[in-house]
Amino acid sequence: MPVVVCYGDSNTHGYGAATASRYPKSVRWPGVLAAELGVDVEVIEEGLNGRTTIWEDPYFEGRNGRPYLLPCLCTHAPVDILVIMLGTNDTKSIFGRTAGEIASGADALVDIALRSACGPDGGAPQVLLIAPAAPGEPTGQSELWGFGEARAKGLRMAELYRMVAANRKIAFLDAGEHVTVDPADGVHLLPEAHAALGRAVAAAVRGLL
């Protein structure tokens, strides 16, 4: 049975702004992906609130996406497809990173995956790199989280992630072509956005299986 690992942040975990809690599995985009692909494909959710690509968060431990990626892949090996959607948290002002540096952080994760030997027959898993939808206009809540100046970086990231994917010869998806964030907090996805993203990812994954 093919294995698809979805490696992301709160928008993969399924955080909902309205309730400040997690959406049900059937609502979250990895759950939608699983339903779209059917019972013959195993979809594994690896979403963590606040996860970055490669940066240490001074407020929350364990949010750096780099140290856990290889153990994650080894845990679920053999992994046929790794879906990475990270970078939103990297736009926080506390990290002080440019859009280019954030894309380089994503590239570092892709490199780990391609060198992991955690794919079928000891090879590399295929990688689908997703550029997250750009943060919205600042809200009081998004400023409190550190996203007050994140939108401009987010709008640049899709182009740069596309370049990373082309350089690495991996699959790419621009989430911003399919969804926008919830204007209530300017960061997270509404249920209908999860549904649309799950369907878009399913179409991309079918092309890789």
Note whether 185 and 193 are within 8 A (CB): no
CB burial string 184-209: b at 16+ within 10 A, e below: ebbbbbbbebbbbbbebbbebbeebe
Domain chopping of the chain, boundaries: 3-206
**Burial class, 169, CB count within 10 angstroms (exposed 0-12 / middle 13-18 / buried 19+):** exposed
* Cα distance between residue 199 and residue 195, in whole Å: 6
Tens digit of pLDDT at every position of the chain (209 positions): 999 999 999 999 999 998 999 999 999 999 999 999 999 999 999 999 999 999 999 999 999 999 999 999 999 999 999 999 999 999 999 999 999 999 999 999 999 999 999 999 999 999 999 999 999 998 988 998 999 999 999 999 999 999 999 999 999 999 999 999 999 999 999 999 999 999 999 999 999 99
* Cα distance between residue 180 and residue 61, in whole Å: 28
Q: Does this model's pTM top 0.85? A: yes
Q: May I ask the CATH class of domain 3-206?
A: alpha beta
